[in-house]
Amino acid sequence: MKILFIGDVMGRSGREALQEHLPQIKKKLGPDVVIVNGENAASGAGITPKICEEFYSWGVDVITTGNHVWDQREIIPYIDKDQKLLRPANFPDGTPGLGMTRHELDDGRVITVINAMGRLFMDSLDDPFRIVKDLVEKEKMGKSTHAIFVDFHAEATSEKLSLAHYLDGKISGLVGTHTHVPTADAHIMPGGTAYMSDAGMTGDYNSVIGVEKEIAIHRFVKKFAGERMRPASGKGAMCGVYIVTNDKTGHTERIEPVRVGAVISEHIPKI
């Protein structure tokens, strides 16, 4: 199975970059499934039902989120109706929405997508190690599902790596989001699980992790809040990762970063 995962879409620049670059990348790579983290898509904070529908119309199959999932209040009644829009699975019981979905391809193959959030330097939620392990153990790669992909929305690379090693061989891939910086550590672990610490941001890289640079700099230099944080509005880039798995085992055979657009150095896997 060919999986295309796109990192955090940041504001209008991110949405425009996704709309512009996703069609050409889909044409070149021919992914079977497209997963996008959209938790910053609405003005840098949260996502709306309208944006979800736009993403689907552009060819997105599953949307993951993170700590900003509830920033746009209108998403709360919507998320229960949309099983392809995920929130972190380790939110407390009773939280609206789902943390896992099973997406069936046109040819009958199934990919299980799990969204979880870290706890180190983040909000204190339920244990992601226990929650994700319990979800994974309900599936059997190569039998009930052909691939299992985890978007781990976390701050610390140590926590991301630890969860990936904890699940190595039991899932197809774990890719981190949240830091908005694409990392250079895409690789396949000994058990066959693909890993990358952070898929990077889809947005304006002439910024400070997607925020207008002058606003961010002011907070460091003056040590007090100035203007409200807002997304940078320049030409954006789309960043993510391309993973190819074995349908019989669910294990990964190939992983490469995907970077296309303004400012950042481009990398498009060759087919």
Does a structural domain hold residue 217?
no
Q: Tokens 């099973």 belong to which residue?
A: 102
Tell me whether residue 83 is exposed, middle or buried, using C-beta atoms within 10 angstroms of its C-beta: 0 to 12, 13 to 18, 19 or more. middle
Least confident stretch, 72-76, 137-141, 205-209, 217-221: 217-221
Does a structural domain hold residue 241?
yes
Query: Looking at 68, 146, 178, 251, which residue is catalytic?
Result: 68
* pLDDT tens-digit series, residues 149-189: 999 999 999 999 999 999 999 999 999 999 999 999 999 99
pLDDT at 224 over 80: no
* pLDDT tens-digit series, residues 74-116: 999 999 999 999 999 999 999 999 999 999 999 999 999 999 9
Does a structural domain hold residue 152?
yes
Task: Determine contact, residues 136/116, Cβ cutoff 8 Å.
Answer: no
Alpha-carbon separation of residue 10 from 44, 53, 59, 115, 192 (angstroms): 5, 17, 18, 18, 31
Residue 167: beta bridge partners? none
Does a structural domain hold residue 74?
yes
Query: Which residues, in sequence order, are CB contacts of 43 under 8 Å at separation 6+?
Result: 11, 12, 230, 231
Give the integer Cα–Cα distance in Å for 228 and 224: 11
pLDDT at 11: 95
Q: What are phi and psi of 218, to 5 degrees?
A: -55, -40
Provide mean pLDDT across the span 45-49. 96
Give the integer Cα–Cα distance in Å for 265 and 218: 27
Distance from the Cα of residue 220 to its chain's centroid: 28
Does a structural domain hold residue 270?
no
**Residue type at 62 in one-letter notation:** V
Does a structural domain hold residue 127?
yes
pLDDT at 231: 85
Does a structural domain hold residue 215?
no
pTM over 0.85: yes
pLDDT at 25: 97
Provide mean pLDDT across the span 221-240. 84
Per-residue pLDDT band for 222 (boundaries 50, 70, 90) equals: confident
Task: Determine contact, residues 37/210, Cβ cutoff 8 Å.
Answer: no
Structural domain of 139: 2-204+235-261
Does a structural domain hold residue 186?
yes
**Closest of 240, 243, 80, 84 to residue 148, by C-alpha:** 243
pLDDT at 214: 85
What does DSSP assign to residue 22?
Answer: H
Total domain count for the chain? 1
Q: Among this protein's residues, is 68 annotated catalytic?
A: yes
188 CB-side CA count, 13 A: 17
More confident residue, 207 or 65: 65
Residue 65 has a CB neighbour count (10 Å cut-off) of: 29
CATH code, domain carrying 94 = 3.60.21.10
**Residue type at 134 in one-letter notation:** D
